[in-house]
Amino acid sequence: MSEVSLNHRGYQCPPLDLLNGHVPIFCSKQFQNNTMELPCAIGTTEDKEAFMFDLAKAHHLLVAGATGQGKTACLNAIICSLLLKKAPSELQFVLVDTKGCEFKIYAPLYNIFLKESPNGIIYDFYHCLGVIDLLRSLMDNRFERFKEADVRSITEYNQKYPEQPMPFVVTVIDEYSDLLMVLGREFESKLSNLAAQSWRVGIHFVICTQRPTTNIITGWIRANFPARIAFRVSEGFDSKTIIDRAGAECLNGKGDMLVITDSLDPVHIQGVYIEDKEIERIVSYIAQQRNYDRSKTSDITTCTE
């Protein structure tokens, strides 16, 4: 992946006093040399350093904020971070895009998706319930494998069986509130129950919503999604719903965010913006590689419509 030279632009946003122009997040030594299992580079700090977190340690991530504040750009940064650092033998995706336009750019990477649909991306609302059931079956199967192998984590399993690695599975849901409105509390119940245990076997969730209200981000979601990213919201109450405190209502917008991952205090971050043409370059570069033989992985699960 080092052959890909990309430019990633961040917005200038007082009071962070960031550089206006090219912010080489993915080209930084911090990103290239990191040893995280699931590294996610999403922006820069007040010290103009690349900010990264390990999704494997964060377990699951909730991204919320008002419309047009940078949520989708943040999801793209997370996906591209993982694409640039992990091989298909190490990571597979489940992308849920009920709007039908946000994740379409990743369709050429059909060999990285855990489940196959016509375009490798889930667009149908009701198909999402089947995907949750699929991931539940995968989780149960992995727990059985851990028991047989006498290991406690996916890292220990892969160290013990390097010839048949067990890939991480990252599920990204672009608009969680739409799914909740169509599918009801059954979807929330299944998702929360799965998220409570799935991180132990390398299955992680990233959900995003533009409606940070208590009827969308319920206690079940808050309990099982400890990592949070809050973009600008209209009221302090919405900020408290996302990150348990006020502050997001004072953000400047355009990628400005408050992040809670491995600490109790939020970190003020200026999000990185990746242009569509740059994402296309990443996707094109990876898609041109020889397809990975999925028979090498230890648990292959597919689901047809």
Q: Please give the C-alpha separations between residue 299 and each of 31, 146, 164, in angstroms, as whole numbers.
A: 29, 12, 9
The model's pLDDT over 161-215, given as tens digits with 9 standing for 90+, comes to 988 889 999 999 998 999 999 998 899 999 999 999 999 999 999 999 999 999 9
Exposed, middle or buried, 155 (CB in 10 Å: 0-12/13-18/19+)? middle
Please check the confidence at residue 97 and state whether its pLDDT lies above 50: yes
Quote the pTM value: 0.86
Report how far Cα 288 is from the mean position of its chain's Cα atoms.
Answer: 24
Task: Compute the distance between CA of residue 81 and CA of residue 105 in angstroms, rounded to an integer.
Answer: 15
Token pair recorded at residue 109: 């990477």
The model's pLDDT over 235-273, given as tens digits with 9 standing for 90+, comes to 999 999 999 989 999 898 888 999 999 777 889 999 988
- Per the model's pLDDT, the better-predicted residue between 155 and 24 turns out to be 155
Phi, psi torsion values for 229, nearest 5 degrees: -130, 120
CB 54 within 8 A of CB 38: yes
Task: Compute the distance between CA of residue 94 and CA of residue 206 in angstroms, rounded to an integer.
Answer: 10
- Per the model's pLDDT, the better-predicted residue between 13 and 231 turns out to be 231
Per the document, the length of the chain is 305
Q: Each residue of 25-61: b (16+ CB within 10 Å) or e?
A: bbbbeebeebebbbbbbbbbeeeeebbbbbbbebbbb
Averaged pLDDT for residues 119-127? 82
